[in-house]
Structure formats: C-alpha cells, structure tokens
Structure 1
C-alpha cells in the first residue's frame, strides 16, 4: 500500500513500549510531519492550470530565448502526441538525455502528460557505458535528446533518437493551443526515475511517483516561495534529484525558470528563489544576489558559517533526505547564530531514529534515521533484491506503509530538532579506532577563516583534510581538532585550497581530492598549498 495524506494511517505506539510514556508522545510529535493536502495529484496538472490562466506569462528563459506558459504547454502537447504515435505508452520509462535548455522542459512535460516517466541524464558528462546501462532498463522505444548530443547516445541505439530542438523547429511557436493530450494519470504512476551510483558498479534507478513529488513541491515549505512573477534559478544538473525541485517546482507554481549557462553567479543574481548544494552556494556572494528571497540547500552537510551568512540575507532552509525519500524529507528555516539543524519532517512525512536492531532510540541518543510517509518512493527499477534491503514495513504507521533506511546518523535535540551526525558509511576505522569523518570536518570548520572542510580516509592509518579558502588558518583548524576530538581523529595532512572540486551534481568531488592527496610526495607533512 502506498501512503497517502488523504488516508493517513494512525500512528501506532506498539513498537514504542520500551520507551517511557512521555518519550512515546514526543517520538510521535517530533517524528511526524504535519498533515497537508497537495492541490494537485500530478505535477503537470498544475503546469496546465497556469498555462490556461496566464498563457502569455514567461515560463522559462535560457540563453536569450524565452518560452511562455502557453507555448510550453502547446509544444508539450504536440510532442506528447508524437510520442504516442511512436509507441510510447502510459507506464513507460523514457530516456531524456539532454542538457539544460528550453527543449529539455518540453521533453519532460510531454512525457508526464502521457503518463510515462522521464529518465534524465546529462549526456555531455555521463560516460557512454553508463548511458548504455541505463538504456538497458528502460521500456520506451524513443530516446529524447538534442542534436548536439545525439553522438553521445550509444551507436546501437542512435536510430531511436528524437531530437527535441529539431522537433520544435518543425513548427513555429504560436499562442493557440492544440488539443490537450488526455491520458489518465494516477498519483502512484511514476513521474521520473533518477539513477544514483550503485555499489556494484551499475547505477540504481529510483522510482519517483507523482504522489511523491506533489507532496514536496505543492506543500509548505517545499514550495519555497515560488509564485507568478518570481524568478527561480535552474542551476543544477538534470540528473540530480534536486533539479526536479527547481524545474517542476517553478513550473507548478507559475514562476519563471532562469536556466543558467556557464556562469552560475550571473543566474543567481537574477533570482528570487535558489536551490543549491552547499558547495555551489559557497561559490556565491549574497551581496551580489539582491533579489533573493528564499534559498534552500541539501544534498550534503551545510557548514554553520555558510548557513549563518545566507540566513542573514534571506529566508534560508537547510534540508536533508536521499533520492529515495523524494528530494528532501526534512526542512528547517535557519536563524543566524543558532545551532544548524535539518529540522523536522516535511508534511505527510516521518523520520524515526532507530538503533541497530530497528528499535526506537531514546530521545537524544544517536541512531540511524529511517524515513516514512508520502515521500518514500516505490523502490529501485528492476532491482527487487535491493528494494527489499533498503525499504521495510513501517511498524509505526502500519497499514502497509513502508519506511526507507537513509543510512544517515542523527539524534533529536532537546527542542525537537533533528541533528545530523554524518553517514553510516562515513564512519571509518583508523588504526583500529572508529572515526566519523563529518565530525572531523565540523571541527576543522571552527578554525579561523575556514569556510568549508572535508576529511577523508587515505589509508588504514591516515586521515587527510582539505579546507577552503586558501587563506584559512591551518594551525587554527588543527588546534580545533585537537581541542574537540581524540588524537586518532587528527588528519595527518591539512591542505588549504582556493576551492573544492565539485562533481557534475554540485557536490564535493571526494575521489578527485583523494587522487590529488595520493599524488602529493609530502603527504606526511602538515602544510598548505
């Protein structure tokens, strides 16, 4: 059974009998998000509503090109009809191998209109072998791409390509709308499939439904102040789950999407709403973004200093949640100078802090965070074994609901906020001692001038760390580690860099940092570069 906010199961305390009565009450109050009903059951219905109300309003701008809501809806209808002609049906999974562009928007909206799920990949940067593995799992006979990216598609599959830019060029953009595509879409139909890195070398496709997506995009605070007349930045990689927050969140609320080119700062300076990773946000100056009203970060831990800086400038939200719980399942509006938190569950979602045996931890104890509720996705595409490992029956909601093992460590603070404490897989052994890498990073960030820090395991006896900017006081960072952590948590080397390298999804590229550290001849010496 899929959880729905309209038939929310009663919370059961039968699995909490080992806790004192007062803690049982707080476990439910803190762990359950508020109830809310999204205004639409499928995200494209919200886009169609704005197209009908204000067809001339600007839906998106990219590289000097503009498309109105009426034009976007019309072209998506036209493309949806073409896809149906070519055999794409409700329930299919459709490759969307594109880069940030207006044709990308037409492609994903058309797929949604016919009840299919789009599968986004940035074909410029994804290795051909990975694209081929993704294609093996998909069902649609068509691959949506762009003319300049067609060569990136595996040669054996090239005949399946439909180039979106060429399709749009076939007919001028006019205001009149053609017949609406009217495929019935159920809230539990898939909206998109997001591929994440798999531990076996094969990517895992997370199946996200319309119900999942509407629950975060169409309720507060997930809507992030998006509304007609406001500009929303589209700065993230299409293959990253948070890109759906930017793109479909914007279009579902009638705002204008500002699609970036190479200059992220130029785009951010035009926006009212910005969604980013902390690593990307750290490259931006709030004083050069005078119109920004709301900023949200997720995807990796956010440094306290970065949160304080931006929260003094605008409404700043810190979020947490893996792709499997639909973008984020906790959000917290940060107040400068207060301890940074990931807050509490978003509407219709739950978070439980459990021990290694799956029992509820006493409030304040560290455990692993499990997520339940409307954001929990339908598992992995074509991988029932992995789905069974990571998704389990929810003993607290019951009634067939499932919960997801996030592998994030956390605990409840005294005021009922979730404090993240790193990843289960960020616990490493150094000389036989267990070390939490995120704890080392936080200690380093307390050093003078340090904006961001990353600690990594180099080998069985050695930690290395990287701090930014290059002017950060290495000695002060090292002193903070000595004051806060055990001796075995001390990095052997601390390197100060102008900036940390980022992956295509805007997160710190830890593999590149490790490679760089191993190339250093003087890794045994603490110093800067």
Structure 2
C-alpha cells in the first residue's frame, strides 16, 4: 500500500464528504474508569460479599478476591516486580488465576496469560525470554511443566491462597504508578513465521472497549458471565475483566463448555464454539457476542431469535473488537460500526479512502489501537503507521481484513487479504465460496481452503448436508473457478485451542480423502 499517497491525500480530507467522517468514527464516550483494576476494586468496595467467580464448586467474593490480590501484590513488590514489568500468568482456568491477574495489575505490571497444559515448553521459554520475565505465577500441579531459568522465581497461586492467615485488608497498593498508557497485558499471537508475537495492550485500550457500550454487553451485578475461552485468547479478557469490572459473577468452565453455557446470562465465543452449543438448552442466555472468525447467517438467526446478539470483529492489535453489530434477525449480517472512540478506514491499494460499496482494506484507528509488538520494532513499523486522518501522533493498524461500507454506514467483512487466493490464475475469495455453500438447505457451516494451484476443497456441516445441492448453490452464485473440486460433508468442524477453525487439520483430511479416492480410482475432478 502506498503510504506517501495516503498521507498526502489526508491533507485534502473534506470533513463533510469523506466516508470515515460520515460513519467511520465511533461515538466519543468517556469510559467510567481509566484503569481496569480500579473498576474491579470499586465493585469490591461497594459489594464485598457478592460472588465474583465460581469454579468447580468453589466460589470467591469480590471482597475476598480484592484482599487476596492485595496480599499477592505486596509479595510481588517484595520479589522486585515494579511498574512496567511483565509477569507470566502460566496457569489454567481457576479462581487462583483471577487473584494472580488482579495482583499483577495492582502493582502496575502487565500479565502474560498462557494455558500451561496446552502451550509447548519451547513457546513458554520464548515468551519469558522476549518479555524478560522474572516472576511466574502458576499452580502447584503445573509448575513442573514450566521451563524456568535460575533468574526466574515461581509463585504457586493455590498454595499462596491456602497459607493465608491475614484476617484484615490492611495491605495497600496505592503506590503503584499506573496510568492509562501502562500495559495491562501482553498477548502472544501466532506469527506468520511460526514465532508468536507479543501484542502490548494498554489500560486505555482495555477500558475503552470494556467500560463503554456496547462492549460492556450489559454486564452488571446479578448476571452470570461465562469464562469458556482459552485464557491466552484476547476475547478471554472480555469475559474476565469485563465481568469483574461490572460486578457480575464469572462462571469458570471445566471440561464441559455446554454445562457452563447453559447457566450463563452473557456468553462470549467464537462462531465455531457457539455452533457446538444447543440453543434450546441455553435459554437463560440474554446476550451473546461473537468474534474471531466469520459468523454464518444461520447461526446468527438461530441465537438472535431469543437473545441480544452481537456480531463483532477486530484483531488482537485493536483490543478484542473494534466494530460491533447488534443483529436482530432477518436483515444483513455485518460486523457493524466502530465502537466508541475508535475509527475504521477502508482504503484502496493507493491508500485512498473508499466510498460506500467499494471494497478495500480496513485500517483501524482510535483508542483501541495497541502499543505495538513486544521486542519487535520491525514488525511494529510494518503493521502500525501514523494515522493521517486523526493526526496528533495517533497510530493506526493494518488489519489485513477486506471490507466495504454499506449505504447504512455498516461494515461488511469480505475476508482476509490472506484468504484471497489464486486458483487457475483467477483471484478467489474463500469466504465468498463458503457463504455460497452455506446457502444450501440444511448446511449450517462451510469452510473453503485452497488445496493446490488448481483446486479448492470445501467442508460442509452437518454430515447430512446434500453435497450436490451445496455444489449447485455455488455454481449458481459464483464463477466456475470458484466452485470447489472436492466438497466433503463432516460430522464436526475441528477447532484449534483458541476456538477457531483448524484449517491445518482440515487440509490433512482433504489429503487423506484424496488418497482414498485415488485408491478407489475416484480422482479429484479437474
């Protein structure tokens, strides 16, 4: 993308006529707090006996959560943790996890969450090295899985809580010099080279989405919020911090996601996870928010019929989500409008603003834009650029998502730049193929992948989907080169540990299917 062209065009921006000025900017709203842990502390002060979280038959009140976090914060200071440091939160879902998370924020440090049982030791080692971690918070049964060096100290959160003999809350954390620009957490996302990149998320970033509407999802005392996602996934912060900042009760799941979901009032998930749940058994759910991958229309219709349904979008680098649509059924499913204090620019290849109906690449600006990648200034410079529209030193982020504005001022998500593939010399958008397949009767989900330079392969769910009917729908709506050569009906769409479609495994299935076809002399169609 030609950034000098984009910069020079910014000086000509007409405030009244340009798309981002008309509907590319979210409303200006002041969050209720500038530090997310202060919002949690406020709930503890007002409702100390309210239940903050439940997990495997155990519970903890807001008052006790705050007191235990104060104790741990004092211990962290004794271990030399200071404002601006990084503390590893290498745990699994539990109540002690919440104590550790809150304590780190109280000392002005940033926590780095990882689910130890499912994260390779080599990746944990890489994270600790990049973040210069000196203190690791974990659980006693997980400690042996963490590759510590002699420079690192480990605190077992469960044992720390059990040895509590302090009856009062005299430990004071007011000395922590946090500011809205202080880091709240660092999330390591999958890098294109296979090396995870640490996204630096600030307190301002977090408060902006969690403490304003609609990102607060109506969370309030008396409601139950599910904690079902991988704790290293940015949307888990939406569950955890969002719930605690608003005084609701966090239901931390065990092995059975459905069992927890059925008890929730507020549910945050990826479309792939939500598709595994039975809406008939989840009638207590009042609010659902989806993000992380495209949402099938049928899924949105099914859940929006009985609860408030949000379809949202935004990479980790823009803090959880930066656009949301309140979908009420029967209309166009989009990713909505920018959330408060955020902006979205749809730009063409020359960096010029696109008008309604024109496809371009989405760049994100405003208070959700994070502080770049930890220890990787080159990648930060590549993906984050000065925002010529907001100016004043603000930055914007290249999302690599394709989109266009509707006439109503909402954003249509048209897939990833990475999902535009060449097949037989033609450019194909994989999400468009999946959408065409999903229009077939009884097809609830479709995933399309590039198999090789000449072929696409698609997977449709459920297994009872009429493959030929799906193929016919695709042929009727798209050019011949967009029609998958192989369509496989499956009993389930496999998911990664973060709840998204496992495309690598699907390609392995396609290879196995092709091998079986070859064995039975049924080659893939040319």
Could you state the TM-score of these two structures normalised by the residue count of structure 1? 0.94
Contact 1:150 1:158 in 2 (8 A): no
In the alignment, the residues of structure 1 paired with residue 8 and residue 405 of structure 2 have an alpha-carbon distance, to the nearest angstrom, of 18
Contact 2:315 2:399 in 1 (8 A): yes
**Aligned position for 1:466:** 459
1:15 aligns with 2:7: no
- How far the C-alpha of 1:362 sits from its partner, in A, is 2.3
Contact 2:91 2:97 in 1 (8 A): yes
Write out the 4+ residue segments of structure 1 that deviate beyond 3 Å after TM superposition. 16-19, 155-159, 522-527
Contact 1:43 1:252 in 2 (8 A): yes
- How far the C-alpha of 1:178 sits from its partner, in A, is 2.6
Helix, strand or coil: the match of 2:474?
helix
Per-residue displacement from partner, 1:332-378 (whole Å, max 9, x unpaired)? 10021101011110000000000112111122100000000000000
Alignment of 1:288-437 (within 5 A): 288-437=281-430
**Aligned position for 1:58:** 51
1:177 aligns with 2:169: yes
Provide the aligned C-alpha RMSD in A. 1.8
1:160 aligns with 2:149: no
In the alignment, the residues of structure 2 paired with residue 282 and residue 526 of structure 1 have an alpha-carbon distance, to the nearest angstrom, of 32
- How far the C-alpha of 1:140 sits from its partner, in A, is 3.6
Question: Structure 1 regions of 5+ residues with no counterpart?
Answer: 1-11
1:193 pairs, out of 186, 194, 199, with: 186
In the alignment, the residues of structure 2 paired with residue 440 and residue 496 of structure 1 have an alpha-carbon distance, to the nearest angstrom, of 15
**Aligned position for 1:257:** 250
**Alignment coverage as a number of residue pairs:** 513
Per-residue displacement from partner, 1:97-151 (whole Å, max 9, x unpaired)? 1111001000010000000000011111011111111111123411111111112
Question: Structure 2 regions of 5+ residues with no counterpart?
Answer: 1-6
Helix, strand or coil: the match of 2:73?
helix
1:235 pairs, out of 228, 235, 248, with: 228
2:75 pairs, out of 70, 82, 85, with: 82
Alignment of 1:92-111 (within 5 A): 92-111=85-104
- How far the C-alpha of 1:522 sits from its partner, in A, is 3.9
- How far the C-alpha of 1:179 sits from its partner, in A, is 2.1
1:48 aligns with 2:28: no
Alignment of 1:200-215 (within 5 A): 200-215=193-208
Contact 1:71 1:173 in 2 (8 A): no
- How far the C-alpha of 1:171 sits from its partner, in A, is 1.3
Contact 2:243 2:249 in 1 (8 A): yes
Contact 1:23 1:362 in 2 (8 A): no
- How far the C-alpha of 1:286 sits from its partner, in A, is 1.7
In the alignment, the residues of structure 2 paired with residue 272 and residue 371 of structure 1 have an alpha-carbon distance, to the nearest angstrom, of 31
Contact 1:356 1:367 in 2 (8 A): yes
Could you state the TM-score of these two structures normalised by the residue count of structure 2? 0.95
In the alignment, the residues of structure 2 paired with residue 158 and residue 473 of structure 1 have an alpha-carbon distance, to the nearest angstrom, of 59
**For residues 140 and 88 of structure 1, do their structure 2 counterparts lie closer, same or farther at Cα, with a shift above 3 Å needed?**
farther
Contact 2:44 2:63 in 1 (8 A): yes
2:498 pairs, out of 476, 501, 505, with: 505
**For residues 157 and 121 of structure 1, do their structure 2 counterparts lie closer, same or farther at Cα, with a shift above 3 Å needed?**
farther
Contact 1:494 1:526 in 2 (8 A): no
Contact 1:23 1:363 in 2 (8 A): no
Helix, strand or coil: the match of 1:375?
coil
- How far the C-alpha of 1:13 sits from its partner, in A, is 11
Contact 2:20 2:343 in 1 (8 A): no
- How far the C-alpha of 1:526 sits from its partner, in A, is 9.1
**For residues 53 and 179 of structure 1, do their structure 2 counterparts lie closer, same or farther at Cα, with a shift above 3 Å needed?**
same
In the alignment, the residues of structure 2 paired with residue 463 and residue 161 of structure 1 have an alpha-carbon distance, to the nearest angstrom, of 49
Per-residue displacement from partner, 1:296-329 (whole Å, max 9, x unpaired)? 0000000011011111110000000000000000
Contact 2:134 2:152 in 1 (8 A): no
- How far the C-alpha of 1:15 sits from its partner, in A, is 2.1
In the alignment, the residues of structure 1 paired with residue 500 and residue 11 of structure 2 have an alpha-carbon distance, to the nearest angstrom, of 37
**Aligned position for 1:493:** 486
In the alignment, the residues of structure 1 paired with residue 121 and residue 508 of structure 2 have an alpha-carbon distance, to the nearest angstrom, of 23
- How far the C-alpha of 1:172 sits from its partner, in A, is 5.4
- How far the C-alpha of 1:34 sits from its partner, in A, is 0.1
- How far the C-alpha of 1:39 sits from its partner, in A, is 0.8
In the alignment, the residues of structure 1 paired with residue 20 and residue 238 of structure 2 have an alpha-carbon distance, to the nearest angstrom, of 29
Helix, strand or coil: the match of 2:185?
strand
